[in-house]
Amino acid sequence: MPAGTPGCVAGNTMSGRVYLDYNAAAPLRPEARAAMVAAMDEVGNPSSVHAEGRTAKALIETARAQVAEAVGAQGADIVFVSGATEAAALACAGRGLHGAGIEHDAVRAWIIQDLPVDATGRVYVAAPATSVLQMANSETGRLQELPFGLAVSDMTQAFGKIPLAFDQSGVEMALVSAHKMGGPKGIGALILKRGLDVTAQIKGGGQEMGRRSGTENLIGIAGFGAAVRAATQDLKSGVWERVEKIRNILEKTLESEAKGTILIGKSVPRLPNTSYLATPGWKGETQVMQMDMAGFAISAGSACSSGTAKVRHVLRTMGMTEREAGSAIRVSLGPGTTEAEVLAFADAWLAALKRFRIRDARRTASDDQGVKT
């Protein structure tokens, strides 16, 4: 689907650059932008009872219904918050929940990290009622089987990329965020099981049915709802099947040329758009900078941890060595990604890999010569 086609995320290629970091943030969808611009003209406070306030409130409730419908929940079970990080705090704080070391930092901050993880990234949950488990890992793309009765699931990366049925999952609470699916940054939601409630951490005027006080982010919420509606259409039209085919073309191209590079998660269930590559000895941060200079936006892992040692916690938890984990890069595609773009990236990355291996061979030869003398 070419950029600009209805339902397609615009802005994948900008000023000659190619954006391949959708798991960090997807380009803003035109539908979300239009909804946000329209919401800017609404003067009323959603808590006001006059006509202007009711109009603003109606926009929020429309978005609430759009999010609920997309995940198989009811409107009253959607709590709008500033993002998945706040949703994680609202769901997990003070509960002593158990989880694995591969969870996002926003979740790891609140849990006991003692659930076992195997080399494929699969997490083993013995007591769902007191455990947290992400649906999809942001770095590897690894999908998990959620046990019935799970306390909390981070569905942020899965939302919009694979079908969700929250009402059938048996999960008590789920976290989602708008900017992973082409909505605005700074808005997300906590999804609650029917009849379940949470204790507000932000107290004040009692907005969001008393669960999260503060004047609602009307513009962000409107954009969130519009993005969800567009993302749902993408799922129904088979966009992500096309993305997966392009991802597989990329990996096949790299596999045939990049001997010694590890394709992490290739043999297990994962998101259709995610490739995670490790070339031992070639620092991931170096690869990111080299590809940036070549015009390609990729990452070395979760954007929230970029530039820190924390970026390696997922792979280290899976049993990879520091050398392997430190060499990983993530390439994540979106609805606007084309086959030509991923092949151009493959050419640039393979050329950089060749230069790295030449330098590495020279360095090794020099070290050996030094030992002999």
Outline which parts of the chain fall under CATH 3.40.640.10: 30-236
pLDDT digits (tens, 9 = 90+) for 143-194: 999 999 999 999 999 999 999 999 999 999 999 999 999 999 999 999 999 9
* Topology annotation, domain 30-236: Aspartate Aminotransferase; domain 2 (3.40.640)
The pTM of this model reads 0.91
Outline which parts of the chain fall under CATH 3.90.1150.10: 13-26+238-363
Alpha-carbon distance 97 to 220, whole Å? 30
Q: Which of 236, 292, 121, 255 is nearest to 263 (CA)?
A: 255
Residues sharing a CB contact under 8 Å with residue 211, sequence separation 6 or more, in sequence order:
79, 90, 190, 197, 198, 200
> To which residue do tokens 């280290």 refer?
316
Q: Is 92 an active-site residue?
A: no
Alpha-carbon distance 62 to 283, whole Å? 46
Burial grade of 49 (CB within 10 A; 0-12, 13-18, 19 or more): exposed
- Report residue 147 CA to chain centroid gap: 21
Tokens standing for 268? 């297990």
Active-site entry in 202, 304, 348, 350: 304
Domain 13-26+238-363 classification at class level: alpha beta
pLDDT digits (tens, 9 = 90+) for 348-364: 999 999 999 999 788 77
Report the chain's mean pLDDT, rounded to a whole number: 92
Q: What is residue 322's predicted lDDT score, i.e. its pLDDT? A: 94
Q: What is residue 366's predicted lDDT score, i.e. its pLDDT? A: 67
pLDDT by 10s per residue, the chain, length 373: 344 343 444 445 456 899 999 999 999 999 999 999 999 999 999 999 999 999 999 999 999 999 999 999 999 999 999 999 999 999 999 999 999 999 999 999 999 999 999 999 999 999 999 999 999 999 999 999 999 999 999 999 999 999 999 999 999 999 999 999 999 999 999 999 999 999 999 999 999 999 999 999 999 999 999 999 999 999 999 999 999 999 999 999 999 999 899 999 999 999 999 999 999 999 999 999 999 999 999 999 665 555 444 557 899 999 999 999 999 999 999 999 999 999 999 999 999 999 999 997 887 776 666 655 5
